[in-house]
Structures are given as structure tokens and as C-alpha cells.
Amino acid sequence: MKLKRVLGVLAVLMLVSIWAAACSSNSESNETTEETEDGKEVLKVFWWGNEGRQERTLKAIAKFEEKYPHIKVEWEDASNSAYWIKIAMKTADQDMADVIQMDYKYIDEFVKRKLLLPLDELVREDRIKLDDMDASSIQSGTVDGKLYGIVTGVNAPSYLYNPALFAKYNIEAPGEGYTYEDLLSIGRKLKEAAGNPDFYPIGSTSFDFSYYLRQRGASMYNPEGTGLGYSDDQLLVDFLTMQNQFIQEGLMAPDWLTSSLKGDKEQLIVKDLAAIHSITSNNVVGYSNIAGKPFKLLPFPSYTGGKEGNFVKPSMFFSISSYSEKQENAALFIDFFLNDESANEDLRGERGVPAVAGVREHLMSILEEAEKEQYVYMEKVEQRSSPIDPPAPLVSGRVGTVFTKLEAQFKKGELTANEAAAKFREETAVIFAD
């Protein structure tokens, strides 16, 4: 029956496909108890992230335990994909951590399933201090008028690029307002200059269709979350056709290659086998550290004559599980990570540019030039962006699976762009009707 409960939660939360449950995490975790032998109160914390995030977070946790010696933090982390599987399993077993890292995509559904604790009372009691946080960041964690997530920082969709490679090949990096056509030209120059069939100017496998739709004045989903947000299938035809040109010319990494890469350390841009790679902006910290070189950020290309596609996004939240019996200690933990300058000197904005103004200003005064990259980038995005789309509907995982399947069939020549676009609308209509 346990397996049935797990699969049920996975289906309800739409966090992963059931077949993906074979994934697992190699990260350390500590045996959880309610109280240690020396009488300290146990606080369980769970987050996703890479090794760099783990190292930074543990340094901050050590300072938290020093400040609050009556609390012992028992932590667990996982890769992003394995994290959501584990969350579903822990939910089925009613064994949720006290503090969990939460994503904008899923917070609405977690609230609807009554898995998160409203934080308004803890804020009113000043246990979590938000006086120095901007209103938009507070609003991003609010569902139905109540606060459920404390934003750790803000980020935005972006391309990571290696300025050293552009300099090596004497090619100018993309500039302000560059277009898909500009990127095609730049990619061709990089490919020719590298003279290496294993070099792909763009180390990602595809462009972002949701972002592209925003540029075309549409969206992936309608405001109610009951269907697609665009009515003209030519938009998907145009997208697939444009993307295919990059693929056919060897300017974008093929699926078979990227699917074989395990973790950030194996990404093509880290190995100098790509010059550009798609990420969210806060990941520039981890990638630069892994590669041992300063990467820089730029927005996705613009659509000629189109609208602004970029947007400011809450990178992630800290939330308190509704199962937690350590709410006050959980609030202490979140407040510490949010407002303590010493802890943030260790964290360095790796979870996004801090939404607390004082912490952000403090870090800007001590960061090295390469570490400031995401701060500089976010300043530009905030000046030139459009409102973020509402959180994706519950069925978005199934919709994404259909899109990936049809996109792959198109890439293999099994479907034309028109056939793929028509099938996408047909198959998603069935999903929304369920």
C-alpha cells in the first residue's frame, strides 16, 4: 500500500512522471530524531541543489547552530529531479522536514493540498522579519491572500556565456537586444572558428517555447490554467522550424549528447565545448566555481518586432511544512538565512540575488567582481522585463512530457512541424479535459 500512496501523491502533485521514481540522490543525509542525546531540539531541513550549494548552506547552518545552541539541524539535500520525488514520498509517509525549499511552479499546489503552513502570524510576531524586503518578493510567495513562501532571492532566465572563448576566436559576444538571427550568425562564426565537430556554440538542446510565446504576445497556458494560452498553431510551427535550423547546422547540442551528461561538471560549457548555455541567472555562481573561470550572463535572444520575454522570478522559497511541530524554530532558521549578514557572506547569493535590500547592499560591498555578475544582470532585467506568468497548472508536467515527445519526433524527422503542432494541441486538449 505504501507504493500506492507514493504513486498517488506523485500523480496528485504532478511533480514528476511515475516512471521517473527510479531516480535517486547520492547526497548525504542525517538520521532524523526529535531530540538529540544532549537535549537539543532537532530541526529538519530539506533542499535541492548541487555540491556548491551544500557546502555554502552547511557553513550557514553551522553559524545558525552557534547562534541558537538549543537547536540541532538535521539536513538532507538532493538533485532537483530527485528532490520532488522524495518530497512526494515523505508526504505519503507524513515525514516532511520542518523547513523545505519550495519552487514557484509548485507552491500553489502545495498550498491547495494543505502541505504548507501560513507564515503570516510568524511575520506579525516578528519571528520572520520582512521589513527590508520589497513588496513584489513578498507577494510572490503569497497564495489566496496568505504568505506561504519566503523568497530566498530573485533570478531570471538567462544564457551563461564564456567571454574567454569569444575573445579566443576574436568574435564579439551578443549585445543588447540581439535577435535569434544575430545568434544564428554568431553561432556560425563560433562553429567555424572552433574547427571541432564536438564543439557546439550553444550547449543546450533547445530554446524555451514558453519564453518564445511571451515574445510573440502569447503564453503557454490561459489565465485559468484550463488550456493552452495561444490559439494559432503557426507559433509552434515557427518555433520548431527556427530551432531546427540551429540543430541542423550543428550550432546546438543534440539531445543524445546532453542526455549523457551527468551534473553541472560535465556540461559542455564547463569543458570549453560550448560557448553558451541556458540557465537561471543564480546558477552563474556555481558554474563559474566549477569551471574555475568567470562566466557572464545575457538574456535569451529577442524576437524581431516582438515583445519583451524576460521576467523577474523568485528563485526559490523557504516554506514550513504543515506537519512541523517546530514552527518557531523553523521561523528562526528562515529569518537567519534571510537577514543575517554573516550567513549571507557564506551563501553569496547562490540561491538568487537576495530580496532583502540591506543584505544585498552588504554583499555588493564585499563580493569579488566575478561574483557580482548575477547582481548586474538582475539590475538590467528589472529595468527591462515583463510580468511573470502565473504558476503553471497542475497538469503542466503531463503537458511538458507531451511537448518533449513531439519535439523529439520532429527532430528525428518522424513528424513535420505542422503535424507536431497539431498533435500537441490535440493531446493537450485530452489532458486538460481529464
Question: pLDDT of 360-373, one tens digit each?
Answer: 999 999 988 778 99
- Mean per-residue pLDDT, 295-316: 96
Q: Would you kindly state where each structural domain of the chain is located, as residue ranges?
A: 20-153+314-382, 157-199+255-310, 206-251+395-434
Q: How confident is the model at residue 81 (pLDDT cuts 50, 70, 90)?
A: confident
- What pLDDT sits at residue 391? 84
Q: How confident is the model at residue 218 (pLDDT cuts 50, 70, 90)?
A: very high
- Mean per-residue pLDDT, 24-32: 39
Gap between the terminal Cα atoms of the chain: 25
pLDDT over 90 (residue 178): yes
Q: How confident is the model at residue 272 (pLDDT cuts 50, 70, 90)?
A: very high
Q: What is the pLDDT of residues 341-354, one digit of tens each?
A: 999 999 998 999 99
Rounded distance, CA 349 to CA 337, Å? 11
Rounded distance, CA 42 to CA 248, Å? 55
* CB-CB neighbours of 292 under 10 Å: 7
- What pLDDT sits at residue 176? 87
Please indicate whether residue 29 or residue 57 has the higher confidence score (pLDDT). Answer: 57
Rounded distance, CA 96 to CA 252, Å? 40
- What pLDDT sits at residue 21? 35
Mean of all residue pLDDT scores within the chain: 90
The amino acid at residue 266 is: E
For domain 20-153+314-382, the CATH class is: alpha beta
Q: How confident is the model at residue 37 (pLDDT cuts 50, 70, 90)?
A: low
278 beta partners = 159
Which class for 316: exposed (0-12), middle (13-18), buried (19 or more C-beta within 10 A)? buried
Does 157-199+255-310 match 206-251+395-434 in CATH topology? yes
Q: Which three cell numbers stand for residue 80?
A: 532537483
User: Do 130 and 347 contact (CB within 8 A), yes or no?
Assistant: no
- What pLDDT sits at residue 59? 97
Rounded distance, CA 370 to CA 196, Å? 29
Residue reference for cell 538567462: 158
Distances (CA, A) of 97 to 49, 101, 148, 293: 16, 10, 15, 36
Three-state DSSP class for residue 321: strand
Comparing 8-22, 227-241, 265-279, 375-389, which segment has the lowest mean pLDDT? 8-22
Alpha carbons within 13 A on the beta-carbon side of 292: 2
- Mean per-residue pLDDT, 3-23: 40
- Cβ neighbours for 141, distance < 8 A, ≥ 6 positions apart: 107, 147, 148, 149, 150, 151, 314, 317, 319
Q: What is the CATH number of domain 206-251+395-434?
A: 3.40.190.10
Q: Which three cell numbers stand for residue 192?
A: 567555424
pLDDT over 90 (residue 15): no
- Mean per-residue pLDDT, 132-140: 89
Dihedral sign, Cα of residue 328, residue 105, residue 282, residue 80: positive
Distances (CA, A) of 315 to 5, 95, 155, 191, 326: 30, 25, 5, 33, 25
Q: How confident is the model at residue 286 (pLDDT cuts 50, 70, 90)?
A: confident
Q: What is the CATH number of domain 157-199+255-310?
A: 3.40.190.10
- Mean per-residue pLDDT, 288-312: 95
- Mean per-residue pLDDT, 257-276: 93
